[in-house]
């Protein structure tokens, strides 16, 4: 039997990728219940291959006992495109099909700083506008507390 490709999803952060992996389904049943690969093999090995413009890098093999799990690939460059493929194998079954390549660009560190600066700037501008409006209102130019004499109207 060939172990099918796992489902892979990726989210990025400034210097890392968060890879979520869902093991492929099995076709074996026990008393009408569909068995998972963990039910059959107890634990599985998975390999993550990372591809960037520097080339392909295979990360060290890891083990899992969960159907759905996440791992973080750290120490990456910000604002760079990375592609990930995951292969799953068992101690008794090395035949597997790796997942299709999924690609994402890591976040830029500057983008996060600019976002914080933009929010702080918007708050400052809002406070300045509120203060100016309060002064104009106190001076009686907006919504005056008294009406003008008939001769001035």
Residue 45: what pLDDT? 93
pLDDT band at 153; cut points 50, 70, 90: low
pLDDT of residue 19: 96
pLDDT digits (tens, 9 = 90+) for 6-27: 999 999 988 899 999 999 988 8
Average predicted confidence (pLDDT) for the chain? 86
pLDDT of 1 > 90? The answer is no
Confidence of residue 29 (pLDDT cuts 50, 70, 90): confident
pLDDT, tens digit, for every residue of 68-115? 999 999 999 988 999 999 999 988 888 889 999 999 999 876 555 566
Q: What is the residue whose two structure tokens read 């690969």?
A: 37
Contacts 24+ apart (CB under 8 A), 93-98: 93/1, 93/3, 93/41, 95/1, 95/2, 95/3, 96/2, 96/3, 96/4, 96/5, 97/2, 97/3, 97/4, 97/5, 98/5, 98/47, 98/49
Three-class SS of residue 110?
helix
- The backbone torsions φ and ψ at residue 67, rounded to the nearest 5 degrees and listed phi first, read -75, -35
- 47: enclosing H helix or E strand: strand 44-52
Question: Has residue 56 got a pLDDT over 70?
Answer: yes
| Residue 99 backbone dihedrals phi, psi, to 5 degrees | -70, 155
Residues 66, 77: Cα–Cα separation, whole Å? 29
């Amino acid at each position: 039997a060939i172990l099918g490709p796992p489902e892979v999803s990726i989210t990025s952060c400034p210097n890392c990728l968060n890879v979520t992996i869902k093991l492929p389904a099995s076709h074996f049943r026990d008393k009408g219940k569909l068995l998972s690969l963990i039910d059959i093999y107890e634990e599985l090995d998975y390999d993550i291959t990372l591809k960037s413009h520097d080339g392909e890098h295979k990360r060290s093999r890891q083990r899992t006992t969960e159907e759905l799990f996440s791992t973080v690939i750290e120490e990456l460059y910000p604002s760079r495109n990375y592609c990930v493929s995951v292969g799953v194998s068992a101690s008794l079954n090395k035949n597997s099909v790796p997942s299709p390549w999924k690609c994402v660009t890591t976040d830029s560190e500057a983008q996060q700083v600019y976002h914080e600066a933009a929010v702080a700037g918007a708050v400052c501008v809002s406070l300045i506008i509120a203060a100016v409006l309060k002064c104009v209102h106190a001076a009686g130019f907006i919504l005056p507390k008294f009406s003008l004499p008939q001769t001035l109207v």
